[in-house]
Amino acid sequence: MGSIGCLSMHALDRPCTDEWDRSSLVWYRFDRPCVDSIELLLLRFACFLPLLIVLSDSLSLVSKRFRSLLASPEIYKARSLLGHTETCLYVVFESNPHPLWYTLCLKPNQTLTDDTGEKKKKSSGYVLARVPIPSSPHVRFPGLVAVGYNIYSIEEEPYYGKKEERSSSDVWILDCRTHTWCEAPSLPVKLLSLSASFLDGKIYVAGNSYSSGSLKNTIEVFDIKTQIWDTESIPLSETEYNSNNSRSTCIDGKFHVMKTITKGVAYNSKESSWDLIGREMGDFLFHGSYCKIENVMYSLTFNGVLKWYDTEVSLWRCLKGLVGLPNFPKYGVYLRLANYGGKMVVLWEVKIENDPYDLRHDGCGYKKIWCAVIALERRQKGREISGTVEWVKNVLTVPKSCYLVKVLDVTV
């Protein structure tokens, strides 16, 4: 196996002792075959569970019990008691025949020796590691929502092409502890142009549905705890339908929906009230390159500039600093932002120059996925936000036929 902070493949046939190389996350000594002790070891080192899950397919070749032990409730209970829950980023690419899933992993630190012979630790940065998720349903940016350790995928009815004979939209849940899909209760109605966001224990899904031969705007609400859809839809009569796209987000305790680039609403669930919002917020939401970090919206402009939304004055402001950040592609079609424990992660696609496969014009060839990690700091009494680029590098090479869909932060 590679050096992505992983367990040694020889770990299970070496003798057992207490020795553990914490810098490289490799068990390197055992004093007897200890398949029966795997559960004890997993409990002991539960803090490394997200990494072990990613590597579970390879490790299960050594022990058939390994994968089931990784998914056991005891492991996650131990992590919770130890306070070792953490944010993990899941990255999904659209690909044929099924989407491809990856997770952003921190590689182990390197120990370097300088000219004086002194050893120093140096961060090796990040890498995207493939996550083994079989038979993943097709996914779209606005229908993906992360809640705790689950990722919800809400399917929408297509505007064009063949439409299925069904009365509702399917909902799937990806359990990021076990990397398995299960089916959730379907949407009560078929929705077109839907967009979903999470707020106060519920998923709000805005979209368009057919009623009496015409389209109407509506919001459906799903309770995470009870796993039940509200029996009554919330009518979105405050906005007119004239677009086949919608985007949503939750800030200031309200569910914001932009039905067009110029018109939108903010729904206050506690007061069951609506506020009309103008085009300012929707200016940079429709290409999908946006995220929320600590109740602040960030987005990439069509010219490749990172901005944040100041709700007090309804204005997008430039993110200051960002020294060492490469130029982003314009229009932000294949660039995604995500919250990473209060920092911003940016992933974007870069064409490989002089790729010999490009000459074939048959869809072959490859592109690189770049990643930047940016620390954020508020200044000037909150009127300015500055970004410090902590790390930026290529993390993956994928076929040109793959397309970056979304980056989601989950807690495991």
Give the mean model confidence (pLDDT) for residues 349-374. 76
Give me the count of residues in the chain.
412
* Closest listed residue to residue 346, CA positions, set 299, 301, 302: 299
Task: Name the residue type at position 104.
Answer: L
Q: What is the pLDDT of residue 351?
A: 85
When pLDDT is averaged across residues 153-162 and rounded to a whole number, the result is: 69
pLDDT tens column, 64-100: 555 555 556 566 666 666 666 778 999 999 998 899 9
Residue 402 token pair: 């793959």
Q: Tens digits of per-residue pLDDT, 54-67?
A: 555 445 444 555 55
pLDDT tens track for 326-352: 988 776 668 999 999 999 999 999 988
* DSSP structure class, residue 391: E
Percent of the chain topping pLDDT 90: 35
Lowest mean pLDDT among 11-25, 331-345, 375-389: 11-25
Phi, psi of 74 (to 5 degrees): -60, -40
Residue 27: the pLDDT is 35
How many whole angstroms separate alpha carbon 191 and alpha carbon 63?
45
Residue 214 has pLDDT above 50, yes or no: yes
Q: How many CB atoms lie within 10 A of CB 206?
A: 29
Top CATH class of 137-282 equals mainly beta
Q: Is the pLDDT of residue 272 over 50?
A: yes
Q: Above 50 in pLDDT, residue 167?
A: yes
Which residues face 42 on adjacent strands? none
Query: Residue 33 pLDDT > 50, yes or no?
Result: no
Q: What is the average per-residue pLDDT within 101-114? A: 72
- Confirm if 150 and 408 have CB atoms less than 8 A apart: no
205: exposed, middle or buried (C-beta count within 10 Å: 0-12, 13-18, 19+)? buried
pLDDT given at position 60: 46
Look at residue 64 and give its three-state secondary structure: helix
Biggest CA–CA distance in the chain, Å, is 80
Query: How confident is the model at residue 55, as a pLDDT?
Result: 54
404 — phi, psi (to 5°)? Answer: -70, 120
Q: Are strands 384-399 and 366-379 parallel, antiparallel or unpaired?
A: antiparallel
- Do 84 and 76 touch, CB atoms closer than 8 A? no
Helix, strand or coil, per DSSP, at residue 240: coil
Contact criterion met (CB below 8 Å) for 49 and 88: no
Query: Considering the entire predicted model, what is its pTM?
Result: 0.78
Q: Are 196 and 152 in contact (CB under 8 A)?
A: yes
Domain ranges of the chain: 11-78, 86-116+288-404, 137-282
Please tell me the predicted confidence (pLDDT) of residue 226: 96
Average pLDDT, the chain: 76
